[in-house]
Amino acid sequence: MNARDPFLNIIPIRADSAWRGTSDCRNCGIRDMVLFADLNESDFNLIHAPIDNFEFKPGQHLYDEGDAVQGIFTLRSGMVKLVRTAQDGRVRIVRVLRTGDIAGLEALATEHYETEAVALTDVQLCRIPLNVVQTLGVQSPRLHKRLMEKWQRALRDADDWLADLNFGSARQRVAHLILKMRSSGDAQITTLFSREDMGAMLDLKLETVSREINGFVREGLIEPLDKTGRSYRVLNAQALANC
């Protein structure tokens, strides 16, 4: 599979097997979190293209900014960064997606993707062809409602991301990112990215990000759990929140 062109070999399949495609949507482990959570058997009779599984390694692109829209992605595991290039050439990470989030949702209203989507970690996801989403969005009230909920959440998360990570001192921005990236399963564990990526998220220089993180370690607010500087244990969340 070409990670830069994941839409190759899209073929129609029988409606009675569309529930399955190459993904087992019925028995999905995150079924309650994803776009198709509320669909029933009659809804899936409208599907005439496969719901495919894909895997991406860190650094691989799901799609690039400006690419023609062919489908959306539901993230089953891992993290994906959405990147936008400003008119002055600066690259900014505008949001990070995690399990249950959708990549490319905003593109349903346009003909092109508005951001570049890049895997931050090992990623597993489902690719839902655009015509499937369009057909179900019109004919299934359940999916239409879910689409609107996902869209509203995406807008809210984007606003929260901007508010939390792009205002305040460098210390405050880094502290807020550490808290925001805590695991949903264990709030004491946070997974960060390369210092360069963090700088792009926070509009800070790489050296500034490194200095602030090292300062939090020295102060005993966080402790490293690996040698790469990506995984940390949060020892004092309240102090970070009050930075």
pLDDT on residue 222 = 97
pLDDT on residue 167 = 81
pLDDT at 67 over 60: yes
Q: Give the start-to-end residue ranges of the domains of the chain.
A: 15-164, 169-241
DSSP characters over 31-89: GGGSTTTT--HHHHTT--S--EEEEE-TT-EEE-TTPBP-EEEEEEES-EEEEEE-TTS
Find the mean pLDDT for residues 180-200: 86
Exposure letters 225-239 (e unless 16+ CB within 10 A, then b): eeeebeebebeebee
CATH (residue range 169-241): 1.10.10.10
- Maximum mean pLDDT: which of 38-42, 49-53, 60-64, 82-86: 60-64
pLDDT at 156 over 80: no
Q: Any idea which fold 15-164 has?
A: Jelly Rolls (2.60.120)
Average pLDDT, the chain: 77
pLDDT on residue 46 = 55
- Higher pLDDT: 72 or 240? It is 240
The pairing of strands 91-97 and 116-119 is unpaired
DSSP element (H, E) containing 192: none
pLDDT digits (tens, 9 = 90+) for 11-50: 332 223 223 334 555 555 444 445 555 555 565 555 555 6
